[in-house]
Amino acid sequence: KAGVTQTPRYLIKTRGQQVTLSCSPISGHRSVSWYQQTPGQGLQFLFEYFSETQRNKGNFPGRFSGRQFSNSRSEMNVSTLELGDSALYLCASSSDGTYGNTIYFGEGSWLTVV
């Protein structure tokens, strides 16, 4: 069974631009969450979607947004990019996101903002 798939794997953007990252969860998984990984802040939760609804949100500015489609695929968007947004963005999926479910991660999208 295929794992969590993220695209693109690597991208470079200019400060002020926006970026959209895509995530396909494991087949049958309905919960998708996003995390940001940086050397300074470590792994931080961005948001979680289930059945096209955002259920949880981390402590990130409104420039960070996401959505989930009816097939459970998800996208996250970062507008007005800042240098500090350079990070590895990880998508994770679980069957329904309830307490006690295992969360599986994709390989991530490396974003560099210049």
Partner 1 sequence: AQSVSQHNHHVILSEAASLELGCNYSYGGTVNLFWYVQYPGQHLQLLLKYFSGDPLVKGIKGFEAEFIKSKFSFNLRKPSVQWSDTAEYFCAVTSGSARQLTFGSGTQLTVLP
Contacts with partner 1, residue ranges (CB under 8 A): 31, 33, 35, 42-45, 48, 55-56, 58, 90, 92, 97-100, 102-108
- For residues 47 and 23, the answer to whether their CB atoms sit within 8 Å is no
- 89 vs 113, which CB is nearer to partner 1? 89
For the beta carbon of residue 111, count every other beta carbon within 10 angstroms: 20
- 33 vs 74, which CB is nearer to partner 1? 33
- The least CB distance from residue 15 to partner 1, in Å, is 27
- 71 vs 99, which CB is nearer to partner 1? 99
Prior bond to 8 cis, omega within 30? yes
- The least CB distance from residue 17 to partner 1, in Å, is 26
- For residues 65 and 74, the answer to whether their CB atoms sit within 8 Å is no
- The least CB distance from residue 37 to partner 1, in Å, is 9
Cα 110 to Cα 44: distance, rounded to the nearest angstrom? 15
- 90 vs 111, which CB is nearer to partner 1? 90
Supply φ then ψ for residue 65, to 5 degrees: -140, 170
3-class secondary structure, 93: strand
- The least CB distance from residue 108 to partner 1, in Å, is 6
